[in-house]
Amino acid sequence: MSNQLKGVSNQLINELNLEKHDLTKMMYDMILIRKFEENLKQLYQQGKIHGTMHLCIGQEATAVGACFPLTKEDKITSTHRGHGHSIAKGTDVNKMVAELLGKVTGYCKGKGGSMHIADMEVGNLGANGIVAAGLPLGTGAALTSQMKKLGYVVLCFFGDGATNEGAFHESLNLASVWNLPIVFFCENNLYGMSGSIKEMTNIESIAVRGASYGIPSETIDGNDILEVIKATTAAVERARHNNGPTLIEANTYRWEGHSRSDARKYRTREEEKEWKKSNDPIERFKTVLLENGIITEDDFAELNEKAIKQIQDAVEFAESSESPSLDTLMTDIYV
């Protein structure tokens, strides 16, 4: 890791004044997300997962950092690459694995799979199979908060690729003119499937798009969880105090292919290696925590072991769960 990257975080950890308990919890959640995804990869290879899935390895800091300032009442909308968002918002890992294995104990009773995990109880309004669909939904959820004076804030996750959909532009404009309590959080991982964002847009950053709609915007280092926390905390406060939406562009990188069938011909192995080697969000956070005496190597090893165990338990729970009965095909279509 470069000294420059470290410098920023060491300054931020003092500035943000976070509790040891919270920092450790966030470290744990990041590890848990990575272990979760690594396990899914294995389960997929063993033929236990049907269909496809989109892993977020390498993007743990955006998920965990962006959810940190949110309360349980606050809501998120997520994407096809949503496992990290779910875990960070407090979605139960057991029920997530169960869903991926198509079991009745899963979040969607086995009917949704990876792309549709949702948990209304913790304010997770759902992953989504339609790119950019979460933005208008989130805008509507923010409208409810405003109209009913509920005080909650909505944070919409979406990718760089989603910002070329009309839904992105229309949602930002609407949220702005209605001054809604919402944070638009873009995980810019440089690619939308095979489309490099450099080739799919003609602008320097996604954040400049906020200006078209009168929305304050910034670009941050999405692999530095402390920077993510700082930016989202400010945006959530702005929303909570009726000061309207914010657009955050967090730069990051997806380590794996887009989905399970991706030969990654549109990018180089060198580029991947470089991100993994010198810009791993988990390694970066760990280093800051170690250097500031917040955790020790032993603590980290313990967190790692605990996460591995939690995932093992989740897989066991899922594998020993029942499949849905065939008559559930026709249930839950209408209220």
Ligand X SMILES: Cc1ncc(C[n+]2csc(CCOP(=O)(O)OP(=O)(O)O)c2C)c(N)n1
Closest CB to another protein among residues 101, 153: 101
Bridge partner list, 187: 159, 250
Beta-strand ranges (E) seen in 48-172 are 75-77, 154-159
- At what angle are helices 60-67 and 225-240 packed, to 10 degrees? 30
Decide: is 1 part of the binding site for another protein (CB under 8 A).
Answer: no
User: What is the C-alpha to C-alpha distance for residues 86 and 79, in angstroms, rounded to an integer?
Assistant: 10
Closest distance to ligand X from the beta carbon of 121 (Å): 25
Q: Which two tokens stand for residue 52?
A: 């496809």
User: What is the C-alpha to C-alpha distance for residues 154 and 2, in angstroms, rounded to an integer?
Assistant: 34
Closest distance to another protein from the beta carbon of 163 (Å): 9
Interface with another protein (CB under 8 A), residue from 266, 274, 277, 301: 266
Roughly how many angstroms between the first and final C-alpha of the chain, as a whole number? 53
Per partner kind, with CB cut-offs from 5 to 8 A, the member of Mg ion, another protein, ligand X, none near residue 269 is none
Residues in contact with Mg ion by CB under 5 A are 159-161, 189, 192
Closest CB to ligand X among residues 62, 246: 62
Q: Where are the alpha helices (DSSP H) in 214-255?
A: 225-240
User: What is the C-alpha to C-alpha distance for residues 92 and 78, in angstroms, rounded to an integer?
Assistant: 16
Decide: is 172 part of the binding site for another protein (CB under 8 A).
Answer: no
Closest distance to ligand X from the beta carbon of 265 (Å): 16
Contact 103, 48 (CB under 8 A): no
Q: Which two tokens stand for residue 192?
A: 């939308």
Decide: is 324 part of the binding site for another protein (CB under 8 A).
Answer: yes
User: What is the C-alpha to C-alpha distance for residues 143 and 92, in angstroms, rounded to an integer?
Assistant: 27
Per partner kind, with CB cut-offs from 5 to 8 A, the member of another protein, ligand X, Mg ion, none near residue 333 is another protein
Residues in contact with ligand X by CB under 6 A are 54, 79-81, 129-131, 158-162, 189, 191-193, 254, 258
Per partner kind, with CB cut-offs from 5 to 8 A, the member of Mg ion, ligand X, another protein, none near residue 81 is ligand X
Q: Positive or negative, the Cα torsion across 13, 18, 20, 25?
A: negative
Q: Mark 129-168 with x for binding to another protein (rule: CB under 8 A) and - for no binding.
A: xxxx----------------------------xx-xxx--
Nearest Cα residue to 76 out of 157, 149, 150, 132: 157
Phi and psi (nearest 5°) for 218? -150, 155
Closest distance to Mg ion from the beta carbon of 106 (Å): 26
Binding residue count for another protein, defined by CB under 8 A: 40
Interface with another protein (CB under 8 A), residue from 52, 173, 179, 205: 52
- Residues at the interface with another protein (CB under 8 A): 50-52, 99, 102-103, 108, 110-113, 115-116, 128-132, 161-162, 164-166, 192-195, 199-201, 262, 265-266, 323-324, 326, 328-330, 333
